[in-house]
Amino acid sequence: MAFIAATLFFRTRLHPTTETYGTLYLATLFFALVHMMFNGFSEMSITVARLPVFYKQRDNLFYPGWAFSIPSWLLRLPYSVAESIIWSCIVYYVVGLAPEPGR
């Protein structure tokens, strides 16, 4: 998806002087935001499948709710960070959000 976004909004020299360039910047940021938001829907079925186990453990006072949810959150965190770093590295310079790749 990052390569598609990079080719869709390919501009190596965008100057923040007109509204046209501003809308290209905002379209790029909106595309990235929507991609990051909806990327987690693939894990939604796994989360829903695990709900009966969560409710059974909670109702029988085996484990509190945080003991069930924090490990899954911690396991997803490195994946999300890596994905956002890769997305930024691919898209940031190609779209023209920075004038040179060293920034």
Element (H, E) at 74: helix 65-95
Mean confidence (pLDDT) of the chain: 79
Residue 93: C-alpha distances to residues 30, 64, 85, 101 (Å): 17, 45, 13, 6
Alpha carbon 89 to chain centroid, angstroms: 13
In the chain, pLDDT over 90 holds for what percent of residues? 0
Provide the residue ranges of all domains of the chain, joining segments of one domain with +. 2-95
Selection from 45, 9, 44 nearest residue 28 by Cα: 9
Instruction: Express each pLDDT in 49-69 by its tens digit.
Output: 888 988 888 888 888 888 888
Residue 18 pLDDT > 80: no
